[in-house]
C-alpha cells in the first residue's frame, strides 16, 4: 500500500515534470517564431505536440494522485474540524 507521503512525493514529481515540459514547450515556440525554415517549424510543432501530450498526461496523473490523497485524508480526518475522527 502506498503511503500518503509517497503520494505527495509522486505529486511533486508530476508537478516538476509538468513545469519542465511547459518551459521546454515555451522555448520551442519562441525559437519557432524566429525560424524561417518551414521544415524546421514543422519539426518544432511536432515536438510541441509531444510535449503537450506529456504535460496533459502528467496533469491527469497528478489529478488522480490528488484525489487519492484527498480521499485518504478525509477517511481519517473530520472535514469540518480538521481533527482525527
Neighbours of 77 (CB within 10 A): 13
Q: What is the pLDDT of residues 37-84, one digit of tens each?
A: 888 888 888 889 988 998 999 999 999 999 999 888 888 887 777 788
Q: What is the pTM of this model?
A: 0.70
Neighbours of 74 (CB within 10 A): 11
The phi and psi torsions of 77 (rounded to 5 degrees) equal -115, 145
DSSP annotation of 84 reads: B
Angle formed by the axes of helices 38-76 and 4-34, to 10°? 160
Amino acid at each position: 500500500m502506498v503511503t500518503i507521503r509517497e503520494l505527495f512525493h509522486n505529486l511533486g514529481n508530476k508537478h516538476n515534470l509538468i513545469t519542465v515540459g511547459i518551459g521546454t514547450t515555451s522555448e520551442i515556440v519562441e525559437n519557432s517564431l524566429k525560424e524561417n525554415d518551414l521544415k524546421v517549424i514543422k519539426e518544432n510543432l511536432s515536438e510541441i505536440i509531444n510535449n503537450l501530450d506529456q504535460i496533459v498526461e502528467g496533469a491527469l496523473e497528478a489529478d488522480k494522485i490528488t484525489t487519492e490523497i484527498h480521499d485518504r485524508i478525509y477517511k481519517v480526518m473530520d472535514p469540518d474540524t480538521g481533527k482525527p475522527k
